[in-house]
């Protein structure tokens, strides 16, 4: 496992210092298209706008079927695969069985489609966690939770968070997730996104 992790570090260097993480995503990650076939994840204009305008605190109105949640997930998964010390929490609107599983499968496809020389060994893999093993005992993890869930990622310092379709969360679920966000380091990243519920709603800004 250590040898595989060291080989991964050699392969990742050109994506951190060379063409960059976006090239890693577009050359390595795969998605299932509307034709049910597997395709490279090549950013469309909406996804590219997200990528080019990212900050530490982002809030996005999602056009339907344009892959906004896909690129946010790819952003966090790629960073975790290339960099130790990432603890990302990707939260979706409940019910879990309907909304969480597709995102978790998408993350697995990202990993499975990547060149073996460029990906770290998996340490933990289940429906709520995808964790990568790095040398010297270091790890990076993406946690998956549904709104209102408790215990996912407990005890870890989250430094990346995404709340998908937050416009449709119950108020107590938003408040519960805010407790997690308040414990994040100052240089952490947070992305909130949702499809607008009606014209002129706050998510049409």
- The closest of 105, 86, 93, 63 to 203, measured between CA atoms, is 63
200: left (phi over 0), alpha (psi -120 to 50) or beta: left
Residue 204: predicted pLDDT? 44
pLDDT of residue 96: 77
- CA-wise closest residue to 46 among 200, 195, 201, 199: 195
In this structure, the number of other CB atoms found within 10 A of the CB of residue 93 comes to 21
> Average pLDDT in the 146-151 region?
74
Evaluate if residue 138 carries a pLDDT over 60.
yes
**Lookup: tokens for 159:** 């430094």
Q: What is the reported pLDDT for 2? A: 47
**CA–CA separation, 175 and 153 (whole Å):** 17
As a whole number of angstroms, the distance between CA 81 and CA 78 comes to 5
130 strand-pairing partners: 125, 142
Other residues' Cβ atoms within 10 Å of the Cβ of residue 124 = 12
pLDDT of residue 34: 87
- Summarize the confidence of residues 75-100 as an average pLDDT: 90
More confident residue, 117 or 197: 117
- Residue with more model confidence, 203 or 97: 97
pTM over 0.95: no
């Amino acid at each position: 496992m250590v040898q595989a992790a060291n080989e991964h570090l050699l392969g990742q260097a050109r994506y951190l210092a060379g063409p960059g993480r976006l090239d890693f995503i577009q050359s390595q990650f795969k998605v299932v298209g509307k034709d049910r076939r597997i395709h490279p994840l090549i950013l469309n204009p909406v996804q590219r706008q997200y990528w080019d305008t990212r900050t530490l605190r982002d809030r996005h109105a999602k056009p339907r079927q344009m892959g906004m949640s896909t690129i946010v997930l790819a952003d966090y998964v790629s960073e975790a695969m290339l960099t130790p010390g990432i603890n990302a929490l990707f939260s979706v609107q409940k019910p879990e069985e309907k909304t969480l599983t597709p995102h978790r499968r998408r993350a697995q496809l990202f990993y499975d489609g990547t060149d073996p020389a460029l990906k770290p060994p998996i340490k933990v893999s289940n429906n709520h966690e995808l964790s990568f093993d790095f040398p010297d005992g270091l790890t990076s993890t993406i946690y998956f939770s549904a709104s209102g869930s408790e215990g996912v990622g407990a005890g870890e310092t989250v430094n990346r968070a995404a709340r998908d379709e937050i416009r449709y969360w119950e108020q107590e679920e938003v408040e519960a997730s805010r407790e997690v966000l308040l414990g994040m380091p100052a240089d952490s990243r947070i992305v909130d996104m949702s499809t607008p519920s009606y014209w002129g709603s706050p998510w049409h800004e």
